[in-house]
Amino acid sequence: MSRRRVFMFLRGGFHAIDRFVMVALSGRVRQSYIRMSYRLKTALFPEYGSYVPKHSEIGSLSQNIVLVPPAIPSWALDEMRNIAKEIDPALYPTDLFLAGCSYYSFPVIRRPGQIYRKLIQQCSSDYYTHVFAIPWLKQGGADL
C-alpha cells in the first residue's frame, strides 16, 4: 500500500473518530485529540505539511473549520526530483523540505473591489485635482 493510501486511510479513521466518538466528549478533549492527531501526522507524514491548529481554531463539530491542506501532487514531486537531479539539488523534495513547505492560496476578497466600483460610479469626472477621504463621516445626526 502506498504512503498516500495509508495516509488517506488514517485520515478517514481520524474523521470517523472525531465525528462519532469525540462528539460525546468535552470540547477540551476534542481539541487535544485533534492537535495530537496533527502532530502525529507531521511526524509520520511530513510531506503533508506541519500545520497544527491552535485550540482557538478548533470549534464544535458543526463548525467543521479544521483545514487539511492539499498535498503537493505526485506529478509535481516527480518534476522536483528531476529538476533536482538535472539542475539544482535545492529542489529535491526531502522530508525536511516538505515539512517546511506550507500550503497557501491566493486570497479572493471581492468586497473592497465592489465598494470601489460603487464609489467610482458616483464620480462625475475621470480626473480630479483633489480627493478628500473622510471615512468617519456618517449620514444623519448632529454633524449634518
Contacts with other proteins by CB under 8 A lie at 72, 75-76, 79-80, 82-83, 86-88, 90-91, 97, 100-114, 116-117, 120-121, 123, 126
Q: Which of 10, 9, 15 is nearest to 64 (CA)?
A: 15
Cβ atoms < 10 Å from Cβ of 30: 19
Residue 98 Cβ vs other proteins, minimum distance, rounded to whole Å: 8
CB of 123 to other proteins, least distance (A): 6
CB 113 to other proteins: min, Å:
3
**C-alpha pair distances (Å), 121 with each of 72, 85, 136:** 43, 55, 21
Instruction: Give whichever of 62 and 124 is closer to other proteins, judged by the CB atom.
Output: 124
The residue to which cell 454633524 is assigned: 143
Q: Which is nearer to other proteins, 15 or 79 (CB)?
A: 79
Residue 9 vs 103, nearer CB to other proteins: 103
Least distance in angstroms from the C-beta of 62 to other proteins: 23
Q: Please report how close the Cβ of residue 121 comes to other proteins at its closest, in angstroms.
A: 6
Residue closer to other proteins by CB (options 107, 140) is 107
Confirm if 65 and 59 have CB atoms less than 8 A apart.
Answer: yes
Residue pair 58/35 in contact (Cβ under 8 Å)? The answer is yes
Burial class, 106, CB count within 10 angstroms (exposed 0-12 / middle 13-18 / buried 19+): exposed
Q: At how many degrees (to 10) do helices 27-44 and 3-20 cross? A: 180
Considering the complex, state which of residue 20 and residue 127 has its C-beta at the smaller distance from other proteins: 127
